[in-house]
Amino acid sequence: MTLTRENKNLSSEKSLQTIKSFAEKYANKTNTYFCIDPSVTAVVIEGLAKHKDQLGAPLCPCRHYEDKQAEVKATYWNCPCVPMRERKECHCMLFLTPDNDFAGKQQQITQEDLESARANI
């Protein structure tokens, strides 16, 4: 059987492109960089896009929540979260300051990198 986007439980193409575009623009705006390992960036973007599909908002995908809908309403962990907006702290390693050992030189991610990470989810 061929696995489709739906039965692999992946995000929609629309949300994926929306989050990709947001992440690229936001990195540029905040002078932050994507991880040297693009699969890290790709997995976080996929997680944000999936939450956007499921919850209507890009709730941070790197945390555990008792009640995701309540967290979306609280807004604190909707990306970009408060720690990122206030202190440039992204514990998902999506947005890294240039002095971070894991920061690469890219503020963009290719479609190929996104798809190859999604193929392994």
> Could you confirm whether 35 is annotated as catalytic?
no
Interface residue with ligand SF4, options 27, 90, 109, 117 (CB under 6 A) = 90
Backbone phi, psi, residue 35, to 5°: -65, 150
Q: Which two tokens stand for residue 57?
A: 């908002």
Interface residue with ligand SF4, options 36, 55, 57, 62 (CB under 6 A) = 62
Report if residue 95 touches ligand SF4, rule: CB under 6 A.
yes
Contact 21, 3 (CB under 8 A): no
Between CA 108 and CA 121 the distance in angstroms is 21
Q: Which is nearer to ligand SF4, 25 or 91 (CB)?
A: 91
State the nearest-atom distance from the C-beta of 97 to ligand SF4, in Å.
12
Q: Which two tokens stand for residue 21?
A: 């575009």
Between CA 39 and CA 37 the distance in angstroms is 6
Report if residue 38 touches ligand SF4, rule: CB under 6 A.
no
Helix then strand count (H, E) for the chain reads: 5, 0
**Exactly one of 62, 79, 81, 90 is catalytic; which is it?**
62
Report if residue 72 touches ligand SF4, rule: CB under 6 A.
no
Q: Give the residues lining the site for ligand SF4 (CB under 6 A).
A: 44, 60, 62, 77, 79-81, 84, 90-92, 94-95
Active site residues: 62
